[in-house]
Amino acid sequence: DAKTTQPPSMDCAEGRAANLPCNHSTISGNEYVYWYRQIHSQGPQYIIHGLKNNETNEMASLIITEDRKSSTLILPHATLRDTAVYYCIVRVASGNTPLVFGKGTRLSVIA
């Protein structure tokens, strides 16, 4: 009963933008979109989150479509250290609602 759908893998050339898509067609009005990544069996790392507006921080940008049924995480200048599994998660941002991790997208940044 995954709430999100992501491609299993993607490649990106070093220095280019990495655009990682995520479908969440059943998202509810009070659910946020979160992105985490996991570098080779390390603990997952928070990247960014958003509700309906586009968001940007020092790591990435998050573009959410107007109908909120899909989003794209953008790493503007991918480096080899960005090679990781990227997880797109939808979640109500309150209480004890857990993060539910799907299979994510394995991004390989190639020199």
Partner 1 sequence: EAQVTQNPRYLITVTGKKLTVTCSQNMNHEYMSWYRQDPGLGLRQIYYSMNVEVTDKGDVPEGYKVSRKEKRNFPLILESPSPNQTSLYFCASRGSGAAHNEQFFGPGTRLTVL
Instruction: Give the footprint of partner 1 on this chain (CB under 8 A).
Output: 32, 34, 36, 41-46, 49, 93-96, 98-104
**Regarding beta strands 105-110 and 9-13, do their DSSP bridges make them parallel or antiparallel, or are they unpaired?**
parallel
On whether the CB atoms of residues 68 and 74 are closer than 8 A, the answer is: no
Could you tell me which of 59, 12, 69 has the C-alpha nearest to residue 49? 59
Cβ 8 to partner 1 shortest distance, Å: 12
Is 69 strand, coil or helix? coil
Cβ 95 to partner 1 shortest distance, Å: 8
Closer to partner 1 at the Cβ: 59 or 74?
A: 59
Cβ 13 to partner 1 shortest distance, Å: 28
Closer to partner 1 at the Cβ: 50 or 75?
A: 50
Closer to partner 1 at the Cβ: 16 or 103?
A: 103
Measure the CA–CA gap between 111 and 105, rounded to whole angstroms: 19
